[in-house]
């Protein structure tokens, strides 16, 4: 935890200070303490970099925790919001929203920004419901089916999204594609405000139930016999994580692999108790996304690579390593 | 079995007529209204000054024939892979073949912009071999990696990897839009020259597939049976993959990424013909070709007057079918 915390501060500092316009530590401290106020530095720090870093951190936190919950519920180490198709569901719903309200909305409108997570939630829930219905058999959730159905549903929602986005005007299409591939490019304070309520509701709900995830490792029968209402608890956990995922997708598009990698790394570091795993998951997620976003915007500066792509390029080798190393 | 034996003959014997009809239908579809009589006239007495004739021969005709050919190639690839791995989910799009090919194309657009279409097709072949090699290599090294679920996940992830690197490179070198067109909207610009050029490859791939059909049937019975019958498994598998790489590589080079044809058509075909791959492979080709040509005609009308990418159409049909397969067949082996 401590190492992670220090790492987070270091990443935070680097992300804030390095870029096309370098800011020294002295200038950074001055800006935060409001000494020797400089308009340029204020603009760079408070208008561009700070909301972006915070948003990246929140997204990492949300996806990391959601991944931990999904892996706990499905008892499958390969579960990830992206692989399960929940990302694509939320994404499709948001593209539907963009499509029907194009011309009326802009990324600077409050109403648009604040309602996006709700649309995302509807889409994410719809995807989850389809996946759940199909993989549900004889009163239990088959993890293998869950993954396959997720892949298929993801492909379906993806095709639907391409279909809709091709009907958009060129400019909206550009916006939709950039956003879909997972980018924090357009981060601003409004986005941060739009997702914070979701985190305030969902994260505590999940954290209070981390012990449930440990219990889920037991068989369903023994859970019922000790008086746990399994399905209700599962639904609450699932709903909360879909809430988090949808909020993240609505501001940053589809970012895969964070939810897959963070729980594995967390288990390596702190063992098997979810009480410990979940916070570390969140922390690792934050480090991953902030770090990747930094790479995304600096490596090819002044151009940008969508952060989702950077994470996929880092994530795949790790995934292959997992395949060889870990029994799943 | 008796009924199925009849269906095999019916499918193959009626194929010249059905294929001609479907191609004819496809030529008639499009934003310019073309009279059926004009089509026949264009074939019988082509007049290069007649605009309608030119449209038919240089645009509609290659497109229809191309869709037919590619549908056949993809369906045969899928059938070969499903038989060989005994995995009912194996298919070109899941094995990362298309993503590998698209990766090679991205590299060539960026670093070798002067390439002709012909050379791009060759590169696409190399790329699909690369994609298949990586996915199949990892799948056979990982414990239980050739099982349906593991393979689907490995393929999806490796595919994501290739397409992510392609996307990153495309963004960096600012060729995103060019690439997007390459993947999604190729079929309407199918050139007759390119089509002619790929035909020898297609023929080689198809002949190889047909020659392997009997061996694939034996493979699909399980490893013990195959060994018991004295089959040289390694050689057969390598040749099968070669055939898949050739056929899928050509398809991606001609129209980009089209998913689900190679996945669903072999299932439909086995439903008609039983599990003897000497029949499954040729019948898949017929059904796959017809399916893709009809999907292509459909893509013209779904969002009229705009064309919908054909991959979207096949996914819209393929996804529900895929879910149905999972729901009814579970996640066991492919029978």
B276-294 pLDDT per residue, tens: 889 999 999 999 999 999 9
- Mean pLDDT of chain B, nearest integer: 82
Examine the pLDDT at B333 and tell me if it is beyond 50: no
CA angle, corner A89, sides to A234 and B309, nearest 5?
Answer: 155
The DSSP letter of residue A218 is: S
- pLDDT at position A220 is 67
CB atoms within 10 A of CB B64: 25
Examine the pLDDT at A272 and tell me if it is beyond 70: yes
Examine the pLDDT at B81 and tell me if it is beyond 70: yes
Contact with chain A for residue B322, Cβ under 8 A? yes
Examine the pLDDT at B271 and tell me if it is beyond 70: yes
- pLDDT at position A59 is 92
Residue owning tokens 């770090």: A291
In order of B51, B65, B145, B273, the CA distances from A216 in angstroms are: 70, 55, 27, 45
Interface test with A, best of B142, B174, B326, B329 (most A CBs within 10 A): B326
Examine the pLDDT at B245 and tell me if it is beyond 50: yes
Cis-peptide, bond into residue A302, ω within 30° of zero: yes
User: A316 and B164 in contact by Cβ < 8 A?
Assistant: yes
Is the separation of the CB atoms in B18 and B287 below 8 Å?
Answer: no
Examine the pLDDT at B69 and tell me if it is beyond 90: yes
Interface test with B, best of A154, A159, A174, A255 (most B CBs within 10 A): A159
Q: What is the pLDDT of residues A232-260, one digit of tens each?
A: 888 888 889 988 988 888 888 778 888 88
The DSSP letter of residue B59 is: I
Which residues are CB-contacts of A276 (< 8 A; sequence separation ≥ 6)? A266, A270
Q: How far apart are CA B307 and CA B297, in angstroms?
A: 10
Nearest CA in chain A to B257: A159
Q: What is the pLDDT of residues A53-112, one digit of tens each?
A: 889 999 999 999 999 998 888 777 777 887 788 888 888 888 888 787 766 655 556 777
Average of per-residue pLDDT across B308-316: 84
- pLDDT at position B335 is 43
CB pairs under 8 A between A and B: 111
> How far does the CA of residue B227 sit from the closest CA of chain A (Å)?
28
Evaluate the CA torsion angle A226, A227, A232, A237 in order and state its sign. Answer: negative
**Cβ-Cβ contacts under 8 Å, A83 against chain B:** 153, 156-157
User: B160 and A256 in contact by Cβ < 8 A?
Assistant: yes
In order of A151, A154, B329, the CA distances from B326 in angstroms are: 11, 15, 6
- Give the number of residues written for chain A: 328
> How far does the CA of residue B106 sit from the closest CA of chain A (Å)?
15
- Mean pLDDT of chain A, nearest integer: 79
**What part of B 106-165 touches A (C-beta under 8 Å)?**
138, 141-143, 145, 148-149, 152-154, 156-158, 160-161, 164-165
Candidates A142, A144, A152; nearest CB to B319: A152
Q: Is A141 helix (H, G, I), strand (E, B) or coil?
A: strand
Is the separation of the CB atoms in A295 and A18 below 8 Å?
Answer: no
Q: What is the pTM of this model?
A: 0.79
User: A134 and B323 in contact by Cβ < 8 A?
Assistant: yes
Q: Is A137 helix (H, G, I), strand (E, B) or coil?
A: strand
> How far does the CA of residue B231 sit from the closest CA of chain A (Å)?
30
Candidates A83, A145, A155; nearest CB to B326: A145
Residue B334 pLDDT level (bands cut at 50, 70, 90): very low
Residue A118 pLDDT level (bands cut at 50, 70, 90): confident
- pLDDT at position B207 is 94
**How would DSSP label each residue in A117-182?**
HHHHHHHHHHHHHHHHHHHEETTEE-HHHHHHHHHHHHHHHHHHHHHHHHTS-HHHHHHHHHHHTT
Candidates B154, B319, B327; nearest CB to A156: B319
- pLDDT at position B98 is 78
Reported as half-sphere exposure (CB side, CA atoms, 13 A), residue B123 has a value of 18
**Cβ-Cβ contacts under 8 Å, B168 against chain A:** 305, 309-310, 313
Nearest CA in chain A to B180: A177
Average of per-residue pLDDT across B292-302: 88
User: A83 and B156 in contact by Cβ < 8 A?
Assistant: yes
User: A166 and B259 in contact by Cβ < 8 A?
Assistant: no
Average of per-residue pLDDT across B22-31: 82
Comparing A81-95, A96-110, B91-105, B126-140, which segment has the lowest mean pLDDT?
A: A96-110
**What part of B 55-74 touches A (C-beta under 8 Å)?**
none
> How far does the CA of residue A29 sit from the closest CA of chain B (Å)?
34
Which residues are CB-contacts of B101 (< 8 A; sequence separation ≥ 6)? B124, B125, B127, B128, B131, B248, B249, B252, B253
Average of per-residue pLDDT across A154-183: 75
User: A166 and B308 in contact by Cβ < 8 A?
Assistant: yes
Examine the pLDDT at B147 and tell me if it is beyond 90: no
């Amino acid at each position: 935890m401590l190492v992670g915390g220090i790492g987070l501060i270091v990443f935070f500092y680097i992300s804030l200070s390095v870029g096309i316009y370098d800011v020294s530590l002295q200038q950074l401290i001055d800006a935060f303490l409001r000494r020797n106020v400089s308009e340029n530095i204020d603009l760079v720090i408070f208008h561009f970099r700070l909301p972006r870093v915070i948003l990246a951190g929140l997204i990492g936190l949300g996806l990391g925790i959601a991944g931990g919950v999904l892996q706990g519920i499905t008892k499958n180490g390969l579960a990830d919001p992206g692989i399960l198709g929940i990302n694509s569901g939320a994404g499709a719903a948001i593209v539907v929203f963009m499509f029907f309200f194009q011309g009326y909305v802009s990324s600077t409108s409050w109403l648009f920004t604040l309602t996006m997570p709700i649309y995302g939630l509807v889409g994410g829930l719809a995807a989850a419901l389809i996946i759940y219905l199909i993989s549900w058999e004889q009163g239990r959730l088959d993890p293998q089916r869950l993954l396959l159905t997720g892949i298929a549903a993801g492909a379906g929602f993806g095709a639907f999204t391409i279909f809709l986005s091709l009907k958009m005007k060129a400019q909206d299409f550009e916006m939709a594609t950039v956003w879909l591939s997972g980018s924090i490019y357009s981060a601003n304070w409004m986005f941060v405000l739009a997702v914070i309520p979701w985190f305030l509701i969902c994260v505590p709900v999940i954290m209070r139930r981390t012990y449930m995830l440990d219990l889920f490792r037991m068989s369903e029968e023994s859970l019922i016999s000790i008086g746990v209402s399994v399905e209700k608890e599962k639904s609450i956990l699932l709903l909360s994580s879909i809430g988090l995922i949808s909020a993240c997708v609505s501001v940053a598009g589809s970012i895969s692999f964070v939810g897959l990698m963070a729980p594995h790394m967390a288990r390596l570091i702190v063992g098997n108790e979810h009480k410990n795993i979940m916070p570390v998951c969140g922390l690792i997620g934050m480090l991953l996304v902030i770090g990747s976003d930094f790479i995304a915007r600096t490596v090819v500066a002044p151009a940008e690579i969508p952060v989702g792509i950077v994470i996929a390029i880092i994530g795949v080798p790790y995934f292959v390593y997992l395949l060889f190393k870990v029994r799943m | 079995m008796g009924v199925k034996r009849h269906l095999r003959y019916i499918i193959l014997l009626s194929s010249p007529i059905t294929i001609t009809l479907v191609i004819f239908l496809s030529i008639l579809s499009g934003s310019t209204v073309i009279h059926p009589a004009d089509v026949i006239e264009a074939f019988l007495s082509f007049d290069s000054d007649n605009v309608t004739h030119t449209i038919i021969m240089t645009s509609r005709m290659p497109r229809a024939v191309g869709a037919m050919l590619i549908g056949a190639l993809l369906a045969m690839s899928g059938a070969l892979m499903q038989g060989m791995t005994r995995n009912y989910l194996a298919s070109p799009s899941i094995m990362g073949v298309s993503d590998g090919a698209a990766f090679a194309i991205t590299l060539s657009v960026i670093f070798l912009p002067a390439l002709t279409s012909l050379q791009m097709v060759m590169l696409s072949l190399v790329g699909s071999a690369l994609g298949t090699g990586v996915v199949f290599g990892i799948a056979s090294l990982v414990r239980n990696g050739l099982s349906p679920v593991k393979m689907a996940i490995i393929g999806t992830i490796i595919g994501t990897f290739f397409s992510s690197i392609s996307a990153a490179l495309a963004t960096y070198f600012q060729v995103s839009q060019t690439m997007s067109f390459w993947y999604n909207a190729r079929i309407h610009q199918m050139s007759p020259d390119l089509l002619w050029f790929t035909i020898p490859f297609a023929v080689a791939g198809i002949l190889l597939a047909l020659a392997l059909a009997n061996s694939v049937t034996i493979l699909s019975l399980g490893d013990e049976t195959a060994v018991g019958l004295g089959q040289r498994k390694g050689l057969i598998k390598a040749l099968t993959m070669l055939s898949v790489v050739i056929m899928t590589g050509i398809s991606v080079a001609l129209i980009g990424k089209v998913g689900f044809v190679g996945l669903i058509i072999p299932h439909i075909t086995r439903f008609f013909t039983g599990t003897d791959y000497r029949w499954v492979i040729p019948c898949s080709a017929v059904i796959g070709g017809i399916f893709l040509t009809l999907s292509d005609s459909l893509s013209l009308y779904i969002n009229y007057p705009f064309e919908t990418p054909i991959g979207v159409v096949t996914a819209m049909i393929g996804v529900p079918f895929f879910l149905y397969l999972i729901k009814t067949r579970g996640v066991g082996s492919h029978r």
